[in-house]
Structures are given as structure tokens and as C-alpha cells.
Amino acid sequence: MADEDSTLPRRQLGRLLREYREDMGLTLAQAAKLVEIGTTTLHRLEKGQADKVRVRIVQHLCEIYERSASEMAAMKHLAAQAAVKSWYAEYHDLASHSFKTNYVGLEAAARHMVSYQELVPGLLQTEEYARTIISAYASEASTVEIDRHVELRMKRQLIIKRRAEPVKLDVVLHESALHRMVGSPRVMSNQLRHLADASTWPNVEVRILPFSAGLPMGVLPAAFVILGFGLDAKKRLVEPTVVFVENILTADVYLEKPVDIDRYLAVSAALHDASLNDADSRAMLRKIAKRYRP
């Protein structure tokens, strides 16, 4: 999937456009008026959320912001990359469109993901486990729609299974996820065995946070994912780290301020330290899997 990282250049493009505008001392409304587009359109472009990225507009903005020829060429290249249709675009008609266009794109561009979950995360779900959850949540969806939801979830998993530069995934999973029945005992047994097997992959770490660990740092946070995008050739961050906090009932939350990132990194480290080690976590998974289905 050559275009799977199209969200990343879109974010980079937006961040640089915002920095260039602020360097010129222009407000969002002033800059939008100069290139004859709506303020909302420019805002979405700067946030990396534009539905369409027009190279012509980006070039015009660079001219207004008085950027050099090399900077303009780099921005036009980013704009061209950002305009490429992502692999998950074929699922645009499904519910939770914002999740797919925002989170799935970030996930596909990530190089390292650190996660705390109280259900098995989508990247490690078996097809049966995923289908059970999706069918219950989208109870009014047709069989075809549910099939496509499941298909999307399974395709997302390619980022940790591919041979070339698979994403590094570190998961802390609360013990409650091992006892919370999803589907049948057979579904649970197969899922826990799959988790145990996946934890042996060189790019995947699964640690279980046992009930006995209590509340590390005095909190038990909502499920979250910290997404890192790696370093460039000069050892600089390709893109700032993002924390994703999913809220299926209202709006998802994306945190990018350094103070928020640092807080989640600290909580993540505390959860990791309070969890069982790799071997003990794997042993617990296999033991409970056997209880479900000897």
C-alpha cells in the first residue's frame, strides 16, 4: 500500500503552513482572504484535515509567506503527496468516518505505538472477536456493512504484520479484558491464544496489568494510544507525537501539546512498570485461554 502514509504529509504540510503564516504575522482570516478561500478551508488545511489539497493554493500561500524556492518546492511535493487517496478511502461510507480519516491515517503513518487498553486492541483482535464487538455496536448495520467493518479492521493489522519495517506495538492490557466475555468461550480462548502468540513477535509487546496492581500513579485512565512517527535522517522527529483517546459515545480526542504528551508518557511508563513481564503475561494469557476451552 504505497499511499498508506498520506495522512502524514498532510499533517506536515498543515503544520508548516501555520508556522509560515504566523512568521508573517497574518491572521487566519487575512491569509485566507489573500488567496481567496474561506477561513474554514484554510483552518482545515493547517490542521491537516482538508478533504482536498490543491497544489495551486499551497503555492500561492508560499508566495504570500515569502518562502524560498527550495521551501516552495518542498511544500508542493508535500501537497502532491497529501492529495493521494489513502488505502482506507474505499471505506469512507462506513460510520465513524472521522475515525477512519483521522486515526487510521495516523496509525498507518506511525512507527511506534504505545497503548493502554481494557479491551483487546483492534490491531491484535481475531476476526471472530472483532466481528462480535462490531456486530453488537453496529446492531442495525447490514451483514454486508459489518463484513466491511471487519475487513477494515483486519487490513489495519497489516502494519504490524508486514515484513518491511513493521510498526512497533507496545500494549498494556488490563486483566479485566481477559475475563470480559466477548462472544463465546471459544472466541475468547482463540483470542487470548492469539495475543500470546503475537507477543512473541519481535515488534510486539503485550503486558497484562493485573487486578492486584491497583491504581498506578493513583489513576486508571481511559484507553489511549501514543503514536510516534520516528526520526528523519537528521535525527529529528518526522512529526510530533500524538496521543489518541477514543470516545465512542462523543468525540475522539487528539492531544499534541508537549505537556499532555509528557503526562501520558509518564502514566504509560507507570502502567508498564506495574504490569507483569512479557513471560508472565504470556503465561497468564495461555492459562486463562485454557480455562475457556481446555
**Of 27, 59, 82, which closes a domain?**
82
Residues 133 and 241 in one domain: yes
Q: Which domain covers residue 27, as residue numbers? A: 7-82
Whether residues 183 and 132 fall in one domain: yes
Domain assignment of residue 168, yes or no: yes
Domain-embedded: residue 1: no
pLDDT at 124: 98
- 159 and 103 in a single domain? The answer is yes
User: Confidence band (pLDDT; 50, 70, 90) for 2?
Assistant: very low
The set of residues, in sequence order, having a beta carbon less than 8 Å from that of 28 and lying 6+ positions away, is 21, 39, 42, 43, 46
The answer to whether 6 and 104 have CB atoms below 8 angstroms apart is no
Q: Residue 280 belongs to a domain with what CATH number?
A: 3.30.870
Is 203 in the same domain as 234? yes
CATH code of the domain in which 25 resides:
1.10.260.40
Q: Are 145 and 72 part of one and the same domain?
A: no
On whether both 166 and 239 belong to a single domain, the answer is yes
Within a domain: residue 164?
Answer: yes
Domain count, the chain: 2
Where is the domain boundary, 34, 67, 82?
A: 82
Please indicate, yes or no, if residue 42 is contained in any of the structural domains.
Answer: yes
User: Is there a single domain that holds both residue 187 and residue 237?
Assistant: yes
Are residues 173 and 207 in contact, defined by beta-carbon separation less than 8 angstroms? yes
Residue at a domain's end among 82, 107, 123: 82
**pLDDT tens for each residue of 244-287:** 998 766 667 888 899 999 999 999 999 999 999 999 999 999 99
Q: Are residues 115 and 214 in the same domain?
A: yes
Q: Is the Cβ–Cβ distance between 107 and 122 less than 8 Å?
A: no
47-105 tens-digit pLDDT? 887 878 899 999 999 999 999 988 888 888 888 877 776 666 666 666 554 454 578 88
Query: Tell me: the pLDDT tens digits for 98-121?
Result: 454 578 888 988 999 999 999 999
One domain for residues 124 and 177? yes
Reduced to 3 states (helix: H, G, I; strand: E, B; else coil), residue 207 is strand
Apex 213 CA angle, 212 and 217, nearest 5: 150
Residues 6+ away with beta carbon under 8 Å from 266 = 217
Q: What is the three-class DSSP state of 117?
A: strand
Are residues 96 and 52 both part of a single domain?
no
Q: Within this chain, do residues 55 and 129 fall inside the same structural domain, yes or no?
A: no
Do residues 25 and 92 both lie within one domain? no
